[in-house]
Amino acid sequence: MAVMVDDLITKGTTEPYRLFTSRAEYRLLLRQDNADLRLTPKAAERGMVDAFRKAHTASKIEQLAELKKFVASTTFENTRLAQWIKRPENAFARLPSDLRGTWSSELWTVAENDLKYALHHAPGRHGGQDLPDGGQDHQTGWITPP
């Protein structure tokens, strides 16, 4: 709904509005679960974030990087964990607790969403336009925040 309202206000329409347009595909990067990871560093550069928030976000980014390395290098049910999570019927919550490790469900949600939406950010899916300041790491399938 927010994507539609934003598009209608900022871009207007000359045709019936379609929710699943190519403009909406880019919006998959602009999820609320990764908003702090995308926006806090930019706000910190402009002096708009206190030291605690900056340190908290930096720690979260480091933990997410560790989780991504773990998922990319771990095998589960005879397949790479990254590939297992991409399947629609699978979710991190179905993993045994020893595999979920010490990472929070919040971090797992971000990692899972990055993997599941990576297909939508494949080359050529944006009318020949590159994704700004980020995009998909085609080696691992991870989406990097802009």
pLDDT for the residue numbered 119: 56
Residues whose CB is less than 8 angstroms from the CB of residue 32 and which lie 6 or more positions away in sequence, other chains included:
none
Q: What value does the mean pLDDT of the chain take?
A: 77
Q: What is the pTM of this model?
A: 0.66
Residue 18 φ then ψ, to 5°: -115, 125
Q: Quick one: which of 116, 122, 111, 109 has its CA closest to 86?
A: 116
Structure token pair of residue 36: 């702090």
CA dist., res. 105 & res. 109, Å (int): 6
List, for residues 15-71, the tens digit of each pLDDT value: 555 555 555 555 666 677 888 998 899 999 999 999 999 999 999 999 999 999 999
Q: Quick one: which of 4, 33, 2 has its CA closest to 21?
A: 4
Residue 23 burial (CB < 10 Å; 0-12/13-18/19+)? middle
